[in-house]
Amino acid sequence: MDSNCKHTYVLIAGAWHGGWAWRDVIPGLRDRGHAVTAPTLTGLGERRHNGTDDTNLSTHIDDVIAHIEMEGLQSVTLVGWSYGGMVITGVAARIPDKIKSLIYVDAFVPEDGKALVDYIAAEQRVQLDLLMNEGKSLPPIPLDVFGVTEPSLVEFVTPRLTPQPPRTFYEPVKARPFPPNISVAYVYCSGYQPLFTSFYERLKGDPRVRTAVIDTGHHCMLSEPLKTIEVLSDLA
């Protein structure tokens, strides 16, 4: 592939997950000539021992900004899956000059001043509030809620899930309107009881936002990696 055609992807996983979630997507994108990294956020995955009581959304935004700066990355295609949408929104607001495109994969696309819990159903928020008030980490949601039932995927994902630092769900994000030089795309996973329909419905009517649909569960990078690779390549 001509070097001018290559993209630089930074892949951000969702709550309870680490960079390991992209295991099947990373080699496929690299095979197409792209540069790809997938940093794990503080307190999760292989960095689960680094989390503290103060770990919050800003911590995770700082993680990604530091990664981009330390790796000397420019013109980044920043991909956020699920909770990762909160993170990439904050990153784009802080370092828009380093971002070429944002791709939200079945993700939260927050408005300025909103926290993740502001998008959670009332009955679920009550449960989260109890844990938050008790200073407890947030346990993973059962995988079948996300449409993950295939035994090999359940076996792979389950032991790698880690509790989520609670402040990450409660800190409001500082978001800015997307600059005209940053392209925006949304990938919607339609093959389960969808949790992100409202974001997809809102964005698909925006002429600036390109959209794609993958008929699979929430974990598209693991259940449909080839399709995910194709979509990410098309939307970069």
* Residues belonging to the active site: 82
Convert 166-192 to b/e letters by CB count within 10 Å (16 or more is b).
Answer: bbbbbbbbebeebeeebbbbbbbbeeb
First to last CA, the chain: 15
176, two tokens: 């800015």
> Which residue, among 40, 37, 38, has the nearest Cα to 161 in the 3D structure?
40
Sign, CA torsion 99/28/57/83: positive
